Amino acid sequence: MRCLRCQGFLIAIQMRDMGQPPVTGWRCLLCGAMTDPGIEANRVSQSPPIRSGARLPGAPVRRVKKERSQ
Ligand SMILES: [Zn+2]
């Protein structure tokens, strides 16, 4: 499990809301961001996953060869 903001290491914590049973959530050791299953679900349902366009150095560039129909 990695932090959504900084990719830091997350530790499991018990989160308590008033009048609610304790929920297991996550806290980032680096930036301190708190995540609980509800937040995670909202995030997933609202925004599509962001794809990183970064290429690894030295990675081959994928070229698509188009065959000519003529
Ligand atoms: Zn973080």
Q: Are 31 and 1 in contact (CB under 8 A)?
A: no
Matching residue, tokens 């990719």: 7
**What is the distance in A from the centroid of ligand 1 to the CA of 40?**
14
Between 65 and 32, residue with greater pLDDT: 32
**What is the distance in A from the centroid of ligand 1 to the CA of 57?**
25
Tell me the pLDDT tens digit for each residue of 6-57. 999 999 998 887 888 888 899 999 999 988 777 666 766 765 656 777 767 7
- Identify the DSSP state of 38: H
pLDDT of the residue at 47: 59
pLDDT of the residue at 20: 82
**What is the distance in A from the centroid of ligand 1 to the CA of 12?**
13
